[in-house]
Amino acid sequence: MKTLIQKIHLEEQHSFACNIYKTPRFETNWHKHEECELILITQGHGTAMIGDYVGEYKAGDVYFLAGNLPHWFRKHQPKMIGSAIVIHFKEDFLGETFLQMPEMKSIHQFLKKNDGIQLQKKLKKEVASIVTAVEPSKGHQRIFLLLQALQKMAASSSYTSLTQNFSSSNSNINPAIEKIIDYSFNHYLEPITLQQIADVAAMSIPTFCRFFKKNIKKTYFDFLQELRISHACKLLTNTNKPVMEVCYESGYNSWAHFSKQFKHVKQLTPTQYRKQFEERL
């Protein structure tokens, strides 16, 4: 198994692609492509892995991903419908010199400095509305809308940086990463030892630890912790299960350990996280 290099289909009459990906087309493996990606999740929720970032995604979320940034959106339940509107474009889709124009300076800088981001608040809603409008549009209107979305992102700081400089430093990811990620997604709620995961990668424990941190920029147990906390967040926001039950259903057998790790990742206690979510409704 190896990181999928996705080939984006571009229609002859278009300079960039905009498509609706709905189950089963929504489901992809850990993949990358040379095009930048602006994605609006329209249905489903689950775990997003973007470069070295792991977190939850839900309908309404908007992400911008630089070219060659590996990513994977995995649904919480296999039978769930997943759907997204996805815009793929190359930085030079309007010509090699277009972004060099003085009027394009802010957009050019935005594209250069950002690797993977998640839009927030008003910016998220505004860009989501634009992305929705791009899909049925035709002719020059498509270009105008995409430039409008890029300008809004370039002029705002209302986004969260998920990963930095990952795509440029990881253009050739070892195919063993796919095996490790796949095994982890299928078993993260179970106890996993370093020996088990090192065996999956066909490496010794020291070699595996060095290999994983070099490719994913964090230790394996930090990665595993993020998968488990992401699962706990889904249970806290989508069910009424007691917090203690959420702890045990998220792969932890110690409340103290779960509470400490949850606060480390989310800067909130599990109870505070649930209350904050309920207050937004």
Q: Tell me what pLDDT residue 74 has.
A: 86
List all residues 6 or more positions away from 186 whose beta carbon is below 8 Å from its beta carbon.
Answer: none
Are 220 and 212 in contact, with CB atoms under 8 Å apart?
yes
Q: Which amino acid is at 191?
A: P
- Outline where DSSP puts E strands in 115-233: 116-119, 159-163
Phi, psi of 105 (to 5 degrees): -55, -45
Whether 174 shows a pLDDT value over 90: the answer reads no
pLDDT digits (tens, 9 = 90+) for 81-115: 999 999 999 998 888 889 889 999 999 999 988 89
Range 176-280 has CATH code 1.10.10.60: yes
What is the residue extent of each domain of the chain? 4-167, 176-280
Q: Tell me what pLDDT residue 1 has.
A: 38
List all residues 6 or more positions away from 132 whose beta carbon is below 8 Å from its beta carbon.
Answer: 40, 85
More confident residue, 76 or 158: 158
Whether 36 shows a pLDDT value over 80: the answer reads yes
- Among 47-51, 60-64, 276-280, name the most confident range: 60-64
Residue 31 per-residue DSSP state: E
Closest CA to 239 of 249, 225, 253, 228: 249
pLDDT digits (tens, 9 = 90+) for 212-270: 988 787 899 999 999 999 889 989 988 999 999 999 999 999 999 999 999 998 999 99
Q: Tell me what pLDDT residue 279 has.
A: 67
Residue 46 — pLDDT band, cuts 50, 70, 90?
confident
**SS3 of 237, please?**
helix
Q: Which amino acid is at 61?
A: D
Query: In degrees to the nearest 10, what's the CA dihedral of 129, 134, 137, 138?
Result: 150
Closest CA to 258 of 234, 280, 225, 281: 225
Are 48 and 54 in contact, with CB atoms under 8 Å apart?
yes
User: For the chain, how many residues are written?
Assistant: 281
pLDDT digits (tens, 9 = 90+) for 176-189: 887 888 899 889 99
Contacts for 174-179: CB closer than 8 Å, 24+ residues apart:
174/211, 174/215, 175/1, 175/2, 175/3, 176/201, 176/202, 176/203, 176/211, 177/3, 177/30, 177/215, 177/216, 178/1, 178/2, 178/3, 178/29, 178/30, 179/1
What percent of the chain is predicted at pLDDT more than 90? Answer: 60
What percent of the chain is predicted at pLDDT more than 70? Answer: 93
Task: For the chain, give the mean pLDDT.
Answer: 89
Secondary-structure class of domain 4-167 per CATH: mainly beta
